[in-house]
A and B are shown apart, each in its own frame.
Chain A
Amino acid sequence: MNELCLEKSYHTLKKFILIFINVLLLSSLLLSHNAWAALNLELTQGVANQLPIAIVPFASEVRFAPENDVTQVIQSDLSHSGQFKVTLAKNLAQADKAGVVYWRAHHVDDVLSGKITVLGQEQYRVHINLIQVAQGRQQILLQREFTVKYLQLRALGHHISDLIYEKLTGVKGIFSTRIAYVLVTRENNHRVYSLQVADMDGYNAKPLLTSTQPIMSPAWSHDGKRIAYVSFEKIMPRIYIQTIANGQRQCVSDYPGINGAPAWSPDDRTLALALSKNSVTPKIYLMNIASKDLRQVSFGFSIDTEPTWSADGRSLLFTSDRGGGPQIYQINLRNKRLQRITFDGSYNARASFSPDGKMIVVLNREQGMYNIAVQDLDDGTLLNITHSGFDASPSFAPNGQMVLFESKPGEHGLLGMASIDGRINCRLPTPVGDVQDPVWSPFLSS
């Protein structure tokens, strides 16, 4: 959504002023360096190596509402990724004629243009053309044609963003993925918790469950079709699995005590979860989803919770206070060997693996500040990628480039996204209420 990352900061302001000066210097053809994104993106550090891309608004006989304007969707996607310096060309006639020399003079490497033709019956044909001019000559990178209905235009914009992103960075784009989170609002002096599923830019939010009691820990199945979560609607916490498409759900765990922290195995057949049915503290169990059979995998008196799977399904990470404060441990499910993973800071929790398995993201506490950090599993170095001091619940984007998290710098919970090098930080404000416990979907096929 266009409201993405509306957090202003001193840095943003400085950036904006710089951009404003740039705008004044630029020719009439290049209206701005996408002032929207500049206003909304909070860059915590200067981003070097942004890819300069110009977008020529797609030629069309009809005008579209902003949310269905393909050009705007692509512009917004690429800008919010933080990896592109997006320039929107306003003067179409001139842009059409503009050649390599013109774009190079404005330090543009790639140019996207397109055309939308009305086919009738709410059908549209969309042509796109991505040209690279970085080498001083025109080189066609991408030429595609799509036929879509009106209501698919926004999704098509995300799809085109994915194609461009992958073409120019070599990494799969995440603009067509979704997020799930818990929204907490107040109605008539009581709290309303709802589990929401939305596009990754916050659009198309839809509630899966609404309750007066807490909802926690949503977890996407790897096929992207189901979400497991914890609901307190029956006073005691229970774990449910809900099918996103039709809303049907099933209670899979209602043992006495804690039923928490569900995590899908890579093959979606097993749920790792935290139960306290036989103990004061929660312990890690594996549940066969079909048979509901349980197997306990962690033992002892410590708090063990927040299990998460390695990509090969052979090991779990979990949070445990067996060493005093909470730290991340890895258990090999075959030989039961246990290994402590985190050592920096007195508090590390809520871990998950990056898609390539080379790093983990954690909630880290250092000197009373709770921030999101990534740890390189090769050399063990920990890097804080957020700095508000009030962050939690991190999860990786399915391409491993960004981390989604919750942040509560003031009185309200917001969603934040940060790049894994910490250079890009942006925020999604909530319309009303608090947004918490976000989790990024896997890549969705459709």
Chain B
Amino acid sequence: MLIKKLFKMSTIAATLLSLAACSTADQSELGETSASPTHADSALTQGAGDVGSFYGDENTHPMQVGNQTYYFDFDKSFVRDEDKPSLQVQAHYLISHPQAKILITGNTDERGSREYNIALGRRRALSVQQFLIAKGVSANQILTVSYGAEKPVAFGHSEADYAKNRHADLQYQTPVITDKM
């Protein structure tokens, strides 16, 4: 599958990038995370691979170029501090690869009104977009869409389930390529 190839490539890219741009990145993380995300092309599998890392667990947060998931507090749309280094990695890559395009999807937990959640999800997607633009990424590389509560990844009524559903996904629409290989 294309996406899987993309991830293999993205691992290499991430290694290069993290060495170049993100000296704080712990190498052991890269080994873990390159195996963990199993983002496929459908909503169902998004985020399912990094369930263990959903709740602001910095140590397991992916720090490589590739599809990413960022979580939000209830009724909030600000990017959490622990997600900023990872977003910084994406920003570096997007700036150095102007052909690369991403889709940012905003999602909410199931509670409340569906259309109102669409509006809340949009705030989350735009929040991630704004972060990247502030770091110098061109707006032309970013497409945003809010799915509101329409694509849940967890189905229970616990706070842990809700927390898993309050996220923005950054998805590369173009293959992540490495420059010098």
Find B42's partner among A212, A257, A276, A390 (CB 8 Å cutoff).
A212
Contact in complex: B145, A232 (CB < 8 Å): yes
CB of A305 within 8 Å of the partner chain:
yes
B24 / chain A contacts, CB cutoff of 8 Å: none
- The answer for the CA separation of A189 and B42 in the assembled complex, in Å, is 9
B123 / chain A contacts, CB cutoff of 8 Å: 280-281
Contact in complex: B145, A216 (CB < 8 Å): no
Which B120-147 residues sit within 8 Å CB-CB of chain A? 120, 122-123, 126, 143-147
A276 / chain B contacts, CB cutoff of 8 Å: 119, 122
CB of A303 within 8 Å of the partner chain:
yes
CB of A133 within 8 Å of the partner chain:
no
Which B18-77 residues sit within 8 Å CB-CB of chain A? 42-45
Contact in complex: A280, B115 (CB < 8 Å): no
Contact in complex: A190, B44 (CB < 8 Å): yes
- The answer for the CA separation of A191 and B152 in the assembled complex, in Å, is 10
Q: How large is the interface on B (under 10, 10 to 19, 20 to 34, 35 or more residues)?
A: 20 to 34
User: Assuming A237-B145, A280-B126, is B119 touching A214 (CB within 8 A)?
Assistant: no
CB of B114 within 8 Å of the partner chain:
yes
CB of B110 within 8 Å of the partner chain:
yes
- The answer for the CA separation of A113 and B39 in the assembled complex, in Å, is 62
- The answer for the CA separation of A24 and B42 in the assembled complex, in Å, is 56
CB of A411 within 8 Å of the partner chain:
yes
* Shortest Cβ distance from residue B42 to the other chain A in the assembled complex, whole angstroms: 4
* Shortest Cβ distance from residue B54 to the other chain A in the assembled complex, whole angstroms: 19
B114 / chain A contacts, CB cutoff of 8 Å: 216-217, 350, 392-393, 436-437
Contact in complex: A258, B119 (CB < 8 Å): yes
Contact with B along A96-108 (1 / 0, CB 8 A): 0000000000000
- The answer for the CA separation of A190 and B147 in the assembled complex, in Å, is 16
Find A370's partner among B45, B111, B119, B148 (CB 8 Å cutoff).
B111
- The answer for the CA separation of A236 and B155 in the assembled complex, in Å, is 24
B122 / chain A contacts, CB cutoff of 8 Å: 257-258, 276, 280-282
Contact in complex: A303, B103 (CB < 8 Å): no
* Shortest Cβ distance from residue A117 to the other chain B in the assembled complex, whole angstroms: 49
Contact in complex: A260, B150 (CB < 8 Å): no
Q: Majority SS of interface residues in chain A?
A: strand
Contact in complex: A232, B115 (CB < 8 Å): no
Find B112's partner among A237, A260, A281, A347 (CB 8 Å cutoff).
A347
Contact in complex: A261, B115 (CB < 8 Å): yes
CB of A423 within 8 Å of the partner chain:
no
* Shortest Cβ distance from residue B10 to the other chain A in the assembled complex, whole angstroms: 21
- The answer for the CA separation of A236 and B144 in the assembled complex, in Å, is 8
* Shortest Cβ distance from residue B171 to the other chain A in the assembled complex, whole angstroms: 10
Which A270-287 residues sit within 8 Å CB-CB of chain B? 274, 276, 280-282
Contact in complex: A305, B44 (CB < 8 Å): no
User: Assuming A235-B145, A237-B145, is B116 touching A411 (CB within 8 A)?
Assistant: no
Find A258's partner among B43, B103, B112, B146 (CB 8 Å cutoff).
B146
Contact in complex: B115, A216 (CB < 8 Å): yes
A33 / chain B contacts, CB cutoff of 8 Å: none
- The answer for the CA separation of A189 and B44 in the assembled complex, in Å, is 7
CB of B118 within 8 Å of the partner chain:
yes
CB of B113 within 8 Å of the partner chain:
yes
Contact in complex: B145, A303 (CB < 8 Å): no
* Shortest Cβ distance from residue A112 to the other chain B in the assembled complex, whole angstroms: 41
Contact in complex: A306, B116 (CB < 8 Å): yes
* Shortest Cβ distance from residue A321 to the other chain B in the assembled complex, whole angstroms: 8
CB of A319 within 8 Å of the partner chain:
yes
Contact with A along B93-110 (1 / 0, CB 8 A): 000000000010000001
Contact in complex: A217, B145 (CB < 8 Å): no
B44 / chain A contacts, CB cutoff of 8 Å: 186, 189-191
Least CB separation from A259: chain B residue: B118
CB of A365 within 8 Å of the partner chain:
yes
Which A24-43 residues sit within 8 Å CB-CB of chain B? none
* Shortest Cβ distance from residue A175 to the other chain B in the assembled complex, whole angstroms: 28
Contact in complex: A274, B115 (CB < 8 Å): yes
* Shortest Cβ distance from residue A171 to the other chain B in the assembled complex, whole angstroms: 29
* Shortest Cβ distance from residue A324 to the other chain B in the assembled complex, whole angstroms: 11
Contact in complex: A408, B116 (CB < 8 Å): no
CB of B151 within 8 Å of the partner chain:
yes
CB of A114 within 8 Å of the partner chain:
no
A390 / chain B contacts, CB cutoff of 8 Å: 111, 157
B156 / chain A contacts, CB cutoff of 8 Å: 411
Find A363's partner among B45, B113, B151, B157 (CB 8 Å cutoff).
B113
CB of A197 within 8 Å of the partner chain:
no
- The answer for the CA separation of A117 and B53 in the assembled complex, in Å, is 69
* Shortest Cβ distance from residue B125 to the other chain A in the assembled complex, whole angstroms: 10
- The answer for the CA separation of A212 and B147 in the assembled complex, in Å, is 13
CB of A398 within 8 Å of the partner chain:
no
User: Assuming A190-B44, A280-B122, is B147 touching A319 (CB within 8 A)?
Assistant: no
- The answer for the CA separation of A149 and B148 in the assembled complex, in Å, is 46
Residues on B close to A: CB < 8 A? 42-45, 103, 110-116, 118-120, 122-123, 126, 143-148, 150-151, 155-157
Given contacts A186-B44, A232-B147, A235-B103, 15 further A-B contacts (CB under 8 A): A214-B147, A216-B115, A235-B143, A235-B145, A257-B144, A258-B146, A274-B119, A305-B116, A306-B113, A319-B116, A326-B112, A350-B114, A370-B111, A392-B112, A411-B155
Q: What are 27 A-B interface contacts by the 8 Å CB criterion?
A: A186-B44, A189-B42, A190-B44, A191-B42, A216-B115, A232-B147, A235-B143, A235-B145, A257-B144, A258-B119, A258-B122, A258-B146, A274-B115, A280-B122, A281-B122, A282-B119, A306-B116, A319-B113, A350-B114, A350-B116, A363-B112, A365-B111, A390-B111, A392-B114, A408-B110, A411-B156, A437-B114
Ranked 10 nearest A-B pairs via Cβ: A214-B150, A349-B113, A303-B119, A190-B42, A261-B115, A350-B113, A305-B115, A411-B155, A306-B115, A349-B116
